[in-house]
Structure 1
Amino acid sequence: MDDVIIIGGSFAGLAAALQLGRARRKVTVLDTGLPRNRFADHSHGMLGHDHKPPLHILAEARRQLARYPAIKLVNARADGISGEIDDFSVRTADGESLVARRLILSYGVADQMPEVPGFAEGWGKSIVPCPYCDGFEVAGQHWGLVWSGPQSHNQARLFLDWTDRLTVLTDGHEIAPEIRADLARRGVAVVDGRIAEIVRHGDHGAVVKVDTGSRISVDILFAHPRNKPSANLHEALGLATVATPLGIVLKVDERRETSVPGIYAAGDLTNPQLPSVTTASWQGAMAGIFAQQSMLA
């Protein structure tokens, strides 16, 4: 029996495994090898790894984990979970059954691409979600923001720390007059109409075609599509969730424990605000530490 099975081997899952392995706890990491940021050429803002390809960072992390004999990395998908604290059973897609005292869920979320020609092709390149991850490289240039709801107002205000050239594309959303007035006061242009197509140009830039006939050329386009957990294991377990403007996330307490005792969660699966490799890593580390401490005699 393992002490902990970790489902999801990206930044959160591997950070949890590192803490557990250093505590000499037996841990198995199940991973499908499809991290959310695999579309990005570089990862930014992670101390010691700034501007490195995210897949290279993960590969190096796996090499480092190999020095810990208690850690086992398995390329497999978890298809089912049953049991309770101190006796969980995880069934993999190839029919293998694993047992553990604790579980850490870090299988992340999957972004749901809108049915706009060119959007999926530009995702992670000319279309990005996070200014902390990608803003510095295009600071001072012309930014576009696809309006996705009330939270977009704060995003527009935030983006002005990086650029004074920002265009909001309403994409069919209604924007209240007082918010439009505030955007105008800040020098933010607003273009109405639904986005019909996005054409990438250059390393980052994009031309956004609107159904009104407008064509807006920007150096980078920020968008926040809805997302959903990349697996449905939490549904079968009946774990409590929290609704956010972009989708649901798992509810955890201050020790990263979910609503079911013995099951912890970390990374984008629990973080609706500012998903990043730094946030995922520290959440994973904390989940590993708290899971270990919960098993003390």
Structure 2
Amino acid sequence: MQFDVIVVGGSYAGMAAALQVARARRRIMVIDAGLRRNRFARHSHGFLSRDGHEPERIAAEAREQLLAYPNVAWTEGRAESAEQVDGGFRIATEAGESFEGRRLVLALGVVDRLPDVPGLAERWGRSVFHCPYCHGYELGGGPLGVLATGPAAMHQALLIPEWGPTTLFTNGAFSPGDEELAQLAARGVSVEAVPVDGIAGHADVHLADSRTIALAGLFTVSTTRPASPLAEELGCAHEEGPLGPFIRTDAMKQTSIPGAFACGDVARATGTVSLAVGDGALTGAAVHRSLLLG
């Protein structure tokens, strides 16, 4: 059976795209590996009407609503390969299944690469974060930190004081110049140049000189990569963003490969749940339009 649209990735962007196409009564296949980027977080914030809800609850409700449409099929598993065929695209899964669709939506998501600091990965999404808009309010105005991974730490360090007194841990990854030090001082940011040995407790930063700085929360800039190589296999053009590569799309979310669209974190320089849902909704409408008008 050939589907009108295959969506690879059943998280927020993928489901939002599929929903628009489903409501146009088109046949859709969603292929999902079940690895949402925010699966490590206890709560999701900043998404209107779902502020403070558990991420898995939001995703489960969205899937239930999507699968209420009889023209939507769902396959759990990883999409292993993608190729162009006459009339569209063929996707093969790790389970050996193969599906064909006239249009393809790549909602692949991204993988975060974290600083190699002992104890940090275990606290990712719990007391170590990347987005203050998503998690800053809940830290109650307590002492906060920014762990540098490069020059992007400067932007974070100037932003984070909105949510609490802030210390920038340069950790050998970033050395602010005189002008930058003046900017940090104007925002009340302390700069700590002693290397970080590890993170313990809730968010206690252990330094190489045996000091420990207890924090309400720690922020860092992760670098990202697409969670799947499918876009690269198809030959989709990419752009290099401040955090890592992402799929290049036009204003209507079509990639450099005609008929293949991309949305969500894999097609943006940065993202949140709200942005992913909006991105997916735009993509779904654009995909349906392309089925009608070419």
81 and 51 in structure 1: CA distance in 2 versus 1, 3 angstrom threshold:
same
Aligned length: 291
Rounded Cα–Cα distance in structure 1 between residues aligned with 2:73 and 2:93: 15
- Which residue is equivalent to 2:112? 111
Give percent identity, aligned residues only: 42
Give the Å deviation of 1:156: 2.1
Cα distance in 1, alignment partners of residues 28 and 217 from structure 2 = 41
Supply the RMSD in Å over aligned alpha carbons.
1.4
1:107 aligned counterpart, secondary structure: coil
Query: Is this contact kept in 2: 1:86–1:262, CA < 8 A?
Result: no
Q: Which amino acid aligns with 1:290?
A: A
How far off its partner does 1:59 sit?
0.5
Change in 2 beyond 3 A, CA 1:239/1:276 = same
CA distance in 1, matches of 2:83, 2:277: 27
The offset of 1:85, in angstroms, is 7.5
The answer to whether the aligner puts 1:243 opposite 2:237 as a matched pair is no
Q: Structure 2, unaligned stretches of length 5 or more?
A: none
Structure 1 CA distance for aligned equivalents of residues 250 and 210 of structure 2:
49
SS at match of 1:52: coil
1:58 Cα deviation after fit: 0.6
**Structure 2 CA distance for aligned equivalents of residues 232 and 124 of structure 1:** 25
Counterpart in the other structure of 2:278: 282
CA distance in structure 2 between the partners assigned to 1:83 and 1:171 by the alignment: 46
Q: Alpha-carbon deviation of 1:84?
A: 5.1
Query: 1:140, 1:117 → 2: CA distance?
Result: 26
2:41 alignment counterpart: 40
Q: TM-score, normalised by structure 1?
A: 0.94
**Residue aligned with 1:253, SS:** coil
| Counterpart-to-counterpart distance in 2, 1:171 and 1:47 | 36
Displacement, 1:63?
1.0
Structure 1 segments unaligned to the other structure (5+ residues): none
Deviation of 1:21 (Å)? 0.5
Q: Specify the SS of the correspondent of 1:252.
A: coil
Separation in structure 2 between the aligned mates of residue 237 and residue 176 of structure 1, nearest angstrom: 43
Equivalent residue for 1:97? 98
CA distance 1:113–1:156, shift in 2 (3 Å): closer
Aligned partner letter, 1:144:
G
TM-score by length of 2: 0.95
Distance 2:68 2:187 in 1: 53
User: What is the CA distance between 1:213 and its match in structure 2?
Assistant: 3.4
The question of 1:54 aligning with 2:51 is answered: no
